[in-house]
Structure 1
Amino acid sequence: MTMGEKIINLRKREGYSQEMLAELLNVSRQSVSKWELNVSVPDLNRIIQMSELFHVSTDYLLKENVAYVVEQEMIRSLNDEEVQVYLDLKRKEKKSLPAAICLCILGAANLIGTSGLSVLYPSMENQLAAAGIIILLVLVTIGVSMIISNSMKLSKFEWLEKEPVQLHSGMLKYIRELKENYAPTHAKFITLGVCLCILSVIPLIMTTMLAQENEVALVMSVVVLLLIVMVGVYILVYDGIWQGALDMLLQEGEYSPTEKVYRKKYSFFSGLYWCALTAVYLVWSFTTNDWEKTWIVFAAGGVLYGGLATLIKGLGNK
């Protein structure tokens, strides 16, 4: 059996059209067609990608006399009912998880706001500080409990982030239709969320220009900034959860077979990083009592996390 015939058989087994396979491999449909007709041969990187995507050895793809042995221990499947359960959980999560994150941001905004009020009411400084911290802890507790609840409900599907999954061809077609229908909404949500986060600095800039000496105005402008960011984050997380769920089932984008190998190999990094960052935040906050400033740890930490994740992925691909 030629390589072209093998690619055809494997593609049909997974329920992929030539366009779908081309998209997964980041090549043109014409390239896939030429491979299947044995007009050209895929490069080594594409052969490795197909090996991971179809769960076969590279030897099977390259050599005509190698028996067809699928690595069954690597393949896990979901039936149609399980897929619907997963999608239903994700529909609920895309509402509750963004709300939980917004509660945490709201708690930080409240703490900063009460610190600003203490300037107007210096005799109540201690009471306002205590109220701000208590409200922050209550909101964060509610938010964290919602996050934990979502995590526990979806725990049985965690493997989808790191391992290949096989679905029935009919279900694959259904999920692809869901993604195609959602694409316009996805584009709108991404645009709106990012624009809100960018525009959120306008109140702070305006206050700095017009009322730089007014400490209360500066503090309240930061509160407004956080509230606008909160709305933007809600939209982005809401959209990201649903888009991610569809990509995870289709094994596309951040959940392609190659990306899943990376996630499985470096899964420890995310938990270790955020635990360390939280420890830094708590130590700094309790030792300095500058709760209105220490929240910046998470803003800076989020940017740093993206950079480190990109660096690790780049080193891992070498």
Structure 2
Amino acid sequence: MTFGEKLFKLRKEKGFSQEALAEKLNTTRQAISKWENGQGYPETEKLLMIGNIFGVSMDYLLKDTSEQSNETEAGYYVSKEMAEGFLLSSKKMARYTSFGLFFIALAFIPYFIFNQDPTNYLIPTIIFGTIGVGCLASTSFLEEDQYKILKQEPLLFDEKYLQELNIRYENRKKKYAIFMIVGFASFAMGFFPIGLEKKNIISADFLTPYFPISIGLMAVGIYILTHTSTILDGYKLLAKNELYTNRLRFKLRKKVRQKVDEL
């Protein structure tokens, strides 16, 4: 079977019209028709997208064989548009996650400001806590389904774009290193008085008035660390995907999904 015959067969098996497949590939119906009639081949990016859509290897698509090879293309092709959309989504997730943890941390401040009197501290604590939990809960709705597969499969990129991603990732790491240091210092400064009180090094009576400031510093530290690390993780997932997919947690999740699919 030629490439055109395979494309026609795969399209029919999926129940796609030429217009529907053209829309998925961001091309025209005429282009699909030409490929199926043996009048040329799609460009490499489109070939990889076809492989992703139909779950077949490049080897199967390009060789004149009738059976699909057992050696499949080892990865899910990610276009530049999809990668950039994922990075924007990661920034949005970082914002909501960090704000959620920030407000949850702030929820402890009224307890000390209002001298541990529940009639005064309860309402502001509930307000801060509700805002924080709401921000965290909203992240489950913000995560778009189209990007979930990027965390489930090894990824393939255009080589030039992958080099660009690596450069951007390294630049982000250098830029965010300062923020990470500031965030860690803020958290440590806030935790230090609380640690002194817990170890009975300094009396609680002396330190308690400073606890709201300490908690505020810890909240700022948590916000900075969460925001920067979440964005960096998004870049790392793409630019250093081999490291990500070699982690034990990734391999275990993949095995579990395979077992579930088999059932």
TM-score norm. by structure 2 comes to: 0.59
Give, as a single letter, the amino acid of the residue that structure 2 aligns with 1:237. T
Deviation at 1:252, TM superposition (A): 4.3
1:253–1:184 Cα change, 3 Å:
farther
Name the residue aligned to 2:227: 238
Contact 1:104/1:143 (8 A) holds in 2: no
Contact 2:109/2:212 (8 A) holds in 1: yes
Deviation at 1:166, TM superposition (A): 0.9
Give, as a single letter, the amino acid of the residue that structure 2 aligns with 1:134. I
Deviation at 1:249, TM superposition (A): 0.7
Name the residue aligned to 2:190: 200
TM-score norm. by structure 1 comes to: 0.50
What is the SS of the residue equivalent to 1:71? Answer: coil
Deviation at 1:75, TM superposition (A): 2.4
Name the residue aligned to 2:52: none
Name the residue aligned to 1:34: none
1:145–1:199 Cα change, 3 Å:
same
Deviation at 1:175, TM superposition (A): 0.5
Deviation at 1:195, TM superposition (A): 2.5
1:191–1:129 Cα change, 3 Å:
closer
Give, as a single letter, the amino acid of the residue that structure 2 aligns with 1:243. L
Give, as a single letter, the amino acid of the residue that structure 2 aligns with 1:195. A
Is 1:127 matched with 2:119? yes
Distance 2:108 2:135 in 1: 12
Is 1:139 matched with 2:140? no
Say which one has the larger Rg: 2
Q: Deviations over 1:281-314 (max 9, x none)?
A: xxxxxxxxxxxxxxxxxxxxxxxxxxxxxxxxxx
Is 1:181 matched with 2:171? yes
Q: Deviations over 1:160-186 (max 9, x none)?
A: 223211111122011011012223113
Give, as a single letter, the amino acid of the residue that structure 1 aligns with 2:225. L
What stretches of structure 2 of length at least 5 have no aligned partner?
A: 1-68, 258-263
1:158–1:97 Cα change, 3 Å:
same
Structure with the higher helix share, 1 or 2: 1
Is 1:225 matched with 2:226? no
Name the residue aligned to 1:302: none
Is 1:257 matched with 2:246? yes
Deviation at 1:134, TM superposition (A): 2.8
Alignment RMSD (CA, Å): 3.1
What stretches of structure 1 of length at least 5 have no aligned partner?
A: 1-67, 119-124, 268-318
